[in-house]
A and B are shown apart, each in its own frame.
Chain A
Amino acid sequence: MKILIADDEPIMLKTIALKLKKDGHDILTTDNGREALEIIERDKPDLVITDIMMPYASGLEIVGKVKQAGNKIPIIVLSAMGQENVVLEAFNLGADDFISKPFSPNELSVRVKRFMSN
């Protein structure tokens, strides 16, 4: 499974990438929203995991643009605790799941597996 991870925080980006690579996935990474959109267009990943706050284009913009274009790639949104409104907005735009920080990489791994089985 080819997974794109978009997060501007290097430690989080590397952590998620390492964890999912360990689970046997192919990983694409970026630290900004604009590049994430380019990668989605070019490499057509099977799943996108994106942080909300990112330079150039936010996680919400990514969800909005991808879903508006009729793309059915599942998107998991990472949000900080207490961002309920943002999460709701992400769902309205078409996000498929969300994980609230602080989170456990194992939990993320399980959610990804769930998407794989679907």
Chain B
Amino acid sequence: MYTGLGDVTQLLLFTIIPAKYLYIASAVLMGVILLILTFIAFYLWNRNIHIVNGKKLKIAFSDIISEAIICETMEELTVLVNDDGFKRVQNRWLRSSFGRNYFIKELMTAKDSLSGISGTNLIWLYEYLELNQDSSRMLSSKKWFKKAIAIQELARMNQKGYLKRIYRETDNENSYIRTEAQVAMVKLIGFQGLRFMNIVSNPVTQWQQLCLIQQLEEVAIETPRVKGWLESKNATVVEFALRIVERFKSFELADDVAGCLSHPSSDVRLQAIKALKEIANDNTAEQIIRRFIHFTRSEKLLAMQLLEEFASASDLNLLTNLLPGEEERLRLKIISLIKEISPAWGKIILNVLDSESAVLNKIAV
């Protein structure tokens, strides 16, 4: 048999591996290749069907969704859902979970662009087609991403009936689920939704905090609650409360925020300085200066920005006392601040230098 191999190679090969096994190995290899090709062909065919169906669905769904959007009364909506065209779409596409999920996505996208009665119509449609049941089933899923999507859907479609179940997820071990649940709570019931801050034991990451602050833009802030969170054992809850104070300028909490300057967490102290910058009063500069030597370098630099804005002549002594212990860059900042607030700054600095050299002389002796 001609194998394309040289005589010697062929001889050696057939000596080591019998020809029978080589034929079997080739057959197996061919089989595997065929299997892979079949799988690829099936995958591409299936994907193509999904793309084509997706396009068909988009057209069919956009027709009924846009008609629902412009309905102005409940009667018009009722007429729409009893229309033959609507029933056809419902029977053809909304029986499969693929179609229902696609419809939910389209509803969400449309809902984000609309306000007023149009948005309400979409919520009505979501409930009429019992799509909230689909979201509810996903909420019970063990897969974290399904749970997170379900929470998002229920919140965007204003499903307050699921509040208790969503609340349970606000301290979930998984940060994605936790974030969605926490944001959903605020979306659904406003500031009241933040009550999970009282029980949350997992960290509220900076990203979560920013998402929540964004949600709070349109709701009234309840200062007593924020005050309570400033004393939370969870440092990230304190940090979040400070962000609220900073963003919404809760002046009445200035003293409570000043108390956070001695918090063990540096993130909290930094955020406290930022918050104080927004709500500073006559005592703020003094409160900062008194804690100054305990700050880390980055806290000190941030604190200097605040002092540059709010320190006055009454803080001069305290500021001067900071000079001996500080590194060069901070000393320069403090000196230029003293220069800003006192015409006798030159004399003050000279006094500090004199007392420093006196100390140095004593050490040398």
Contact = CB atoms under 8 A, between A and B. Distances in A.
Interface stretch (A39-47, A69-77, A84-92, A96-104): A96-104
A116 interface: no
A15 B61 CA distance: 12
Contacts of B116: 104, 106-107
A107 B69 CA distance: 13
Interface string B262-291: 000000000000000000000000000000
A14 B115 contact: no
B118 A11 contact: no
B109 A102 contact: no
Contact of B70 (A9, A10, A18, A103): A18
A114 interface: no
Interface residues of B, number: 22
Interface string A1-43: 0000000011110110111001000000000000000000000
A59 to B, nearest CB: 15
A64 interface: no
Given A10-B59, A10-B62, A14-B62, A101 B113 contact: yes
A52 to B, nearest CB: 12
B119 interface: yes
A41 B131 CA distance: 44
B112 A105 contact: no
B70 A11 contact: no
A54 to B, nearest CB: 14
Interface of A: 9-12, 14-15, 17-19, 22, 101-107
11 contacts: A10-B58, A11-B69, A11-B106, A15-B70, A18-B67, A101-B112, A101-B113, A102-B115, A103-B115, A105-B70, A106-B72
